[in-house]
Amino acid sequence: MDDELKIALLTEQWHVNRERGASLMFKKVLIANRGEVAVRITNTLQQMGIVAVAVHSQPDRWGLHVRRADEAYALEGESAADTYLRIDRIIDIAKSCGADAIHPGYGFLSENAEFAQACSDAGIVFIGPSPDVIRKMGDKMIAKTTLADAGVPVVPGYWDDGNADVATLEKQAERIGYPVLIKAAAGGGGKGMRVARDVKELRSGLDVARRESVSAFGDDRVFLEKYVASPRHVEFQIFGDSTGRTVHMFERECSIQRRHQKIIEESPSPALTPELRDEMATAAVRTAQAIGYEGAGTVEFILDESGAFYFLEVNTRLQVEHPITEMRLRLDLVRLQIEVAAGLPLPFEQVDLVPTGHAIECRVYAEDAARGFLPSVGTIRHFDAPVGANVRLDSGVQAGDEVTVYYDPMLAKLVVWGMSREEALSRMVWALRRFAVTGVTTNIAFMAKVIGDPAFVRGEYDTHFLDSFAVEDHESIPDEVLVASAMMARDAKKQVHGSQSAATAAASPWRDAGGWRGV
C-alpha cells in the first residue's frame, strides 16, 4: 500500500472514530490530582470540549491547576492523606458535580486498585486499566510470575508469598548469588529496597526493608532478585484498546536517577541497537497482551552491560516522562487515554507509528542540589521559562505561586526535540541557560551540568551515574536574574505600607533571587 492511500484510509478511519466518539465521549471529567499533570490533563480536556473539574487541598486553593479548570471543589485538609488520597471524598465530589469519568494522572491514586474499583462501583469511568490489572501489576511478585509464564525475561530471584523466614531467604540468596536486591512486594520509588552483598547485610537489610514497606505501603512482604551492578533503565510505552489491539510507542531511557527517582529522560535510548530495540518492544507488547492491558501503560526493563534485558515492572498509568514520546510521535497520549476509556479504538496500528528525531526531558524541582537536594519552599518571585522552536514546558506553577512542604517539589518539565541527539542536547543546554526562577532554589543549573557532562554527551551512563556527580556550592547569580529580582523588589516596595526598614526587609533582590545556582 502506498503512503497516499494509507494516509487516506487512516484519515477516513479517524473521521469515523470521531463521529462515533461524539456520542460516546464524556461531557465532564474530574482530575484527581494537582500540579503540572492536572494542568496538562486540563488542557487536553478543554481542547476536546470536555469540562475539566479540579479538586484541591487548602494549600492548593489558588494553585494553577485550580485556576485553569472549569470547575473546582475543595478537599478539606492539607496533607496528601487528608486530601488527594481520600477516595471517598473524591468519589462524592465526582458524583455531586456530575462527572462522567475520573482521570487520576500519576502518583496519588493513579495505581490504586481500590480507587479504580470505587469509580466503577459509583458508575464513573476510571481513565486507566481495570482494577484487576492494577492489582496484579501492583504486586511485584504476581507481576513477575505472570510475565515469566508469558515468556518475558525476568531478573533471576526468589519470590513466593513474600513471607519467607530469614533462613529460607539466606538459602535463596546463596543460590541466586550475592549481591542480591531486597525489594518490597508492594513497593515503588525505592522504598523497601536494599542491596545485600553478604549474609550480614541480608539480615540487616531485611529488617529495614520490611519496616519501610509497612510504613509506605502497609505491607511487609519482600522478595529477592539478583542485583545488576551497572544497569540502564529502559522503558517502553504501551497502549491497548477494548478491541484487543496493543501497540508499543517505542522506548524512553530513564537511567539518570537520584534515589531511584528519574530526573532526566530521553528517547530514543543511546544504548539500543535496532535489533535490541525490536526485541525489547516485542517483549513489551507480549507483556501488555498477557495481562489484557487497556489504556496507557509502561513496561520497564533493566538492561545490563552485556545487552541482556529483564522485566522490572509495569506502571499502570501515564508516566511523568510521556511528553518525549508525544514529541517524537506527534501524539497526545492524554487524548488517546480519554478516547480509549470512552470505548473508541486506537486510530492507528503498529506499522503507522514512526518516530522521528530525538527528545529529552528535564524535571525541574524546587530543591537545593548543593545541600543534599533539600526541598526549597517559599513564594516563586520570578518564573521565566524559555520559549523557542521545539521547546515545550509542562508547568504547574507561575510567578506568585507558593511552594509548600506538603507535596512533591516538582515544578515543571522542560522538554526539547531535535532532528538528532546532538541537536536535542544543544537545544536543552540553551533552554536550561534561559530558564530563570527566583524565590525558591531549583535544580536547573544541576541538570545543565549533567546534560553537559562528557560521559552523558557520549551516552555512556547507567542508573548510578549521579552517585558521584560533583555539585558546586557557590555559583554566581547571572546579571539578568539580579535585574529581574531588583525590579520586583522595586515594585514590591511601592506596595509596602509602613517603615522603610520593613519595606527593605520585605523586598530584597538578593533574597528574591533565592538559592540561585548559575549555569
* CA 105/CA 100 separation, integer angstroms: 16
Across 205-215, average pLDDT: 90
Which of 121-130, 214-223, 465-474 shows the lowest per-residue confidence on average (mean pLDDT)? 465-474
Please state, as a whole number, how many other Cβ atoms lie within 10 Å of the Cβ of residue 385: 17
Relative orientation angle of helices 274-290 and 140-149, to the nearest 10 degrees? 110
Position with higher pLDDT, 467 vs 20:
467
Q: Where are the alpha helices (DSSP H) in 177-306?
A: 199-217, 274-290
Task: Give the phi and the psi of residue 294 in degrees, each rounded to 5.
Answer: -125, 140
* CA 333/CA 19 separation, integer angstroms: 20
What 3-state class would DSSP assign to 436?
A: strand
Q: pLDDT (tens digit, 9 = 90+) per residue, 303-337? A: 999 999 999 999 999 999 999 999 999 999 999 99
Catalytic entry in 252, 277, 317, 517:
317
pLDDT of residue 67: 98
% of the chain with per-residue pLDDT over 90: 76
Q: Which residue from 199, 140, 144 is spatially nearest to 175, judged by alpha carbons?
A: 199
Task: Give the phi and the psi of residue 130 in degrees, each rounded to 5.
Answer: -70, 155
Contact 55, 75 (CB under 8 A): yes
User: Where does the pLDDT of residue 398 fall: very low under 50, low under 70, confident under 90, or very high at 90 and above?
Assistant: very high
Position with higher pLDDT, 496 vs 92:
92
User: Catalytic: 317?
Assistant: yes
Which of 183-192, 338-347, 408-417 shows the lowest per-residue confidence on average (mean pLDDT)? 183-192
Which pTM value belongs to this model? Answer: 0.85
pLDDT of residue 18: 52
Please state, as a whole number, how many other Cβ atoms lie within 10 Å of the Cβ of residue 478: 15
pLDDT of residue 483: 53
Considering the chain, what is the average pLDDT of its residues? 88
Across 287-297, average pLDDT: 97
Q: pLDDT (tens digit, 9 = 90+) per residue, 26-49? A: 999 999 999 999 999 999 999 999
Q: Which residue from 256, 250, 345 is spatially nearest to 298, judged by alpha carbons?
A: 250
pLDDT of residue 512: 47
Across 490-507, average pLDDT: 41
Residue 516 has pLDDT above 70, yes or no: no
* Half-sphere exposure at residue 118, Cβ-oriented, CA atoms within 13 angstroms: 20
End-to-end CA distance of the chain: 51
Which of 134-148, 199-213, 475-489 shows the lowest per-residue confidence on average (mean pLDDT)? 475-489
* CA 176/CA 70 separation, integer angstroms: 55
Which of 15-29, 123-137, 215-229 shows the lowest per-residue confidence on average (mean pLDDT)? 15-29
Position with higher pLDDT, 44 vs 6:
44
Residue 510 has pLDDT above 80, yes or no: no
pLDDT of residue 264: 98
Please state, as a whole number, how many other Cβ atoms lie within 10 Å of the Cβ of residue 468: 6
